[in-house]
Amino acid sequence: MSFAKTLLVFSLLFAAGAHAQTLVVVPATGEVTHANDEATLTLAVEEQDQDKNAAASRVNAKMKQGMDIVRRADPVAKLQTQGYYTYTVYPDNDPARPLAASVKRVPIGWRVGQYLDVKTTNLAGLQKTAGAAQGVLHISRVRFGVSPALTKQLDDERIAAAYRNLTERVASIARAMGKQPADATIDTVDFEGSGNFTEMRYASPQRVEVSGSRIAAQDMAEPSFEPGETTLQMRVVGKVKFR
């Protein structure tokens, strides 16, 4: 190979090395916080009787009555029954006198119950609805969150926040490498990380645990709830080239 050709090859290799790029993978997160606009109120009823059918009959009647009360109090609410259970009740054993293995336990009755989920966006009337239902059913728990419709509306804000955080981190990485932010080129933006960051993180929903007391409806005070807020997150991964 002639000297001229050797020099040309060396020059090309040097130019390629001078323009070599560094590829950096940058994760980022965007989040938006919003007041909760949806609640799921879980109501329950439980009856105990020596006659299984009698206990079940009272549960069925109270659940129907409770559902009618909720529908009148909150016409926009979505109702879903769940968790119907029936099991035997045995007498409490005396720890000082444990039963022998050969002794057969004899049931003393039956316990029957059922749950009702009430999902609604009528948060202003939630306390009144719960208070009305407490005349027949008892409150098991309350969960607050953001509705699917609101979550969709907040997507623009989450995406913008995630991309803004990505560009801020790219600028920080550039300075740490002794480069200028202008030296960086975002090659690929992967929202939610294509399975690497698919977990959607939410602030823990508030829960209100209320025991099922047997106080008469006219003597029971109306419950108080505070919906609170939820933080929605979006994760993004960017592949950035630095020259």
Q: Using CA atoms, how far apart are residues 243 and 241, in angstroms rounded to an integer? A: 7
Domain 21-37+146-204+221-243, CATH: 3.30.110.170
- Sign of the Cα torsion 186, 187, 190, 193 reads negative
Strands 138-145 and 78-89: unpaired
Q: Which one-letter amino acid corresponds to residue 74?
A: D
Domain 38-91+103-145 fold is Alpha-Beta Plaits (3.30.70)
Q: What residues does each domain of the chain span?
A: 21-37+146-204+221-243, 38-91+103-145
Tokens matching residue 12: 């090309």
pLDDT for res 84: 95
pTM: 0.70
pLDDT for res 191: 82
pLDDT for res 93: 54
Q: Using CA atoms, how far apart are residues 148 and 144, in angstroms rounded to an integer? A: 13
pLDDT tens for each residue of the chain, 243 residues long: 554 444 444 444 444 444 567 888 889 989 999 999 999 999 999 999 999 999 999 999 999 999 999 999 999 999 999 999 999 998 875 555 565 666 677 888 999 999 999 999 999 999 999 999 999 999 999 999 999 999 888 988 999 999 999 989 999 988 998 888 888 888 888 887 554 543 444 444 444 343 344 444 456 688 889 999 999 888 889 888 888
